[in-house]
Amino acid sequence: MQQLSPFEVAAVYRPFGLMPFFSDYEHTTFDTLSHVIELVLLYAPLGFVWRRLSTGSATGTLLGVLLTTLAIAWPVEYLQGWVVGRYPDLTDIAMSLAGGWVGIRVAVAVSRAPHPVGHFSPNQRSQTSSLPVK
């Protein structure tokens, strides 16, 4: 947030950078990697929650997450073209979309993971409670 407060509006719009990671060339590799991780972690919860709450198809979930992520990330990147010192970059949008996808994959992995020892699902608990206790 420090980078945007206070900010100065540019007199001329800066177009999107089409070369991958072009705006990150002035930074170190660690800064670039950190920025990519930040973007993925920013949008991964969207994919995770959407998949966990979804009752529809996997394709519909993926499409919904990607479109919602795009609807958030594209305007943010577009508006950076009007801020002095900021550059709109298609790579940031791609990393945001990747974050949504990662969130879906984590949600699928969590739902397929075996239950911990001693943990019963609600169906198992009701079946075992009807057994006679010795």
pLDDT tens digit sequence for 76-103: 999 988 988 888 889 999 999 999 999 9
pLDDT tens digit sequence for 69-79: 999 999 999 99
pTM of the model: 0.76
Q: What residue ranges do the domains of the chain occupy? A: 43-112
If one compares 122 and 111, the residue with the highest pLDDT of the two is 111
What span, in angstroms and rounded, lies between the C-alpha atoms of 114 and 117? 9
Strand ranges inside the chain, DSSP E: none
User: In 12-36, which positions are buried (b, 16+ CB within 10 angstroms) versus exposed (e)?
Assistant: eebebbeeeeebbeeeeeeebeebb
CB 48 within 8 A of CB 107: yes
